[in-house]
Amino acid sequence: MNSFFLLFIGVPTLEIFLMIKIGGEIGALNTVSLIFLTAVIGVYFAKLEGIKTMRSGALSLYQNKVPIYEIITGASIAIAALLLIIPGFFTDIIGFLLLIPFTRKILISFFVKKTKIPNDENNKNTLDGEIIEDKKDEL
């Protein structure tokens, strides 16, 4: 419930608050222009980072490596582009942080540490059972 409240109530409330504050300082037209400008610039840089990540992933595949890092990076760039398209300054800041490679690595490592992997070594749940071998001739 906390995550739901924060995501769907807290973030839009913060965005509206920031737009009102910034609009009071620089004017409504400048605020709207700034929101559109950050969206255009952000999507352009997301495209550049996406192309760079696709090339890196293709190189990994060419070297017979699984491009795990490139997949995670590509997903974070897609999330960054989505956040930059959403009007607001808070989402733009998070989106730009996801576009910068240095901060992207920090944010990805933070979320990976917070994510619990279901089949890790700490999970000692085993199922006891009997193995039944079928004979192909009897079928």
Rounded to whole angstroms, the Cα distance separating 86 from 38 reads 10
Supply the pLDDT for residue 120.
54
d(CA 63, CA 57): 10
Residue 77 burial by CB count (10 A; 0-12/13-18/19+): exposed, middle or buried? buried
Condensed to tens digits (0 to 9), the pLDDT of residues 86-128 reads 999 999 999 999 999 999 999 888 888 877 766 655 556 666 7
Report residue 6's pLDDT band, with 50, 70 and 90 as the boundaries: confident
Question: Of 134 and 4, which is predicted with more confidence?
Answer: 4
Token pair listed for 124: 């000692």
Q: What is the pTM of this model?
A: 0.76
For the CA atoms of 50, 53, 58, 59, the dihedral, rounded to the nearest 10 degrees, stands at 150
Gap between the Cα atoms of 14 and 22, Å rounded? 12
The one-letter code for the residue type at 123 is N
pLDDT at 112: 81
What are the pLDDT digits (tens) for 13-71?
999 999 999 999 999 999 999 999 999 999 999 999 999 999 999 999 999 999 998 99
Provide the pLDDT for residue 136: 57
Give me the pLDDT at residue 2, please. Answer: 77
Structure tokens that stand for 103 in this block: 């901060």
Helix (H/G/I), strand (E/B), else coil: 7: helix
- In the chain, the amino acid numbered 71 is I
The better pLDDT of the pair 49, 131 is held by: 49
